């Protein structure tokens, strides 16, 4: 399933309403990353291609302007989500999946603190809460 991500438009579409929310300054986030990189450095995605899945899966890279790709990193408000959505993302949802330990050895996690109030795009459909709660 190749990813066909269109380049970002130069001017924003006024009809498009984006729901945002604010991550308050001081919010703690957890993030997994390679030991070779500091915890607050973006993923090394600048030279990666959007048409190769392992180069980005869902969020990155996506082309930016003027940079080649928009710098990204995945962080979560808890350790479990941060681990599941990064280091364990490729693990199959089956009983007793296999997982190579080498990937774990090269990774670590960091706790990040948001310095200033951060405006984030809300990708959560509020109605999905009802489904979640059953």
Partner 1 sequence: MSDSFTSSAALLEPSGIHTLEVRHAMDKLIEAASPERSHANAAYGVLIYHAAKKGPVPNIFSATGRFVRAYLKGWTALSKMEVDIVGIGEGRKDRIDVFEQNNVRYFVKVFAGKAAVNALKKEAKPSLGVYINTAHLDTLLLDDLRLPHLPERFRNMPLVMQVEETEQKNSEVLLGWENFVKATSEEIAAQETVDRDTVEWRSQFMKNHLSWTAKEVADQSTSTAKNRGALASRWAQERKIFAVKYEGQFWYPRFQFQDGEPLPTVGQVIQAYPIHANGWDFAYFFATPNANIGGRKPLELLKTDPERVLSLARAAADPADAY
From 29, 50, 69, 86, residue interacting with partner 1 (rule: CB under 8 A) = 86
Smallest CA-to-CA distance from 82 within 125, 29, 27 is with 29
Query: Which is nearer to partner 1, 26 or 44 (by Cβ)?
Result: 44
From 8, 28, 52, 67, residue interacting with partner 1 (rule: CB under 8 A) = 52
The answer to whether 109 and 31 are in contact (CB under 8 A) is yes
From 14, 100, 126, 134, residue interacting with partner 1 (rule: CB under 8 A) = 100
> DSSP E strands: which ranges in the chain?
20-23, 28-34, 107-113, 118-121
From 19, 21, 34, 78, residue interacting with partner 1 (rule: CB under 8 A) = 34
Interface with partner 1 includes 69 (CB under 8 A)?
no
Beta bridge partners of 109: 32
Where residue 58 falls (left for φ over 0; alpha for ψ -120 to 50; beta otherwise) is alpha
Place of tokens 């774990």: 104
From 59, 63, 68, 112, residue interacting with partner 1 (rule: CB under 8 A) = 59
Shortest distance in whole angstroms from residue 13 CB to partner 1: 28
Interface with partner 1 includes 32 (CB under 8 A)?
yes
The answer to whether 114 and 25 are in contact (CB under 8 A) is yes
Using CB under 8 A, list all residues that contact partner 1.
1, 32-34, 36-37, 43-44, 52-60, 74, 85-87, 89-90, 92, 96, 98, 100, 102-103, 105-107
């Amino acid at each position: 399933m190749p990813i066909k991500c269109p380049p970002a438009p130069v001017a924003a579409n006024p009809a498009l309403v984006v729901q945002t929310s604010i991550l308050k300054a001081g919010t703690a986030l957890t993030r997994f990353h390679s030991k070779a990189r500091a915890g607050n450095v973006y993923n090394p995605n600048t030279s990666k291609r959007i048409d190769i899945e392992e180069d980005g899966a869902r969020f990155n890279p996506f082309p930016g302007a003027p940079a080649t790709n928009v710098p990204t990193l995945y962080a979560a408000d808890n350790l479990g989500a941060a681990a599941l959505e990064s280091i364990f993302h490729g693990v199959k949802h089956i009983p007793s999946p296999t997982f190579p330990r080498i990937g774990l050895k090269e990774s670590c996690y960091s706790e990040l603190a948001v310095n200033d109030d951060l405006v984030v795009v809300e990708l959560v459909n509020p109605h999905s809460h009802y489904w979640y709660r059953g």
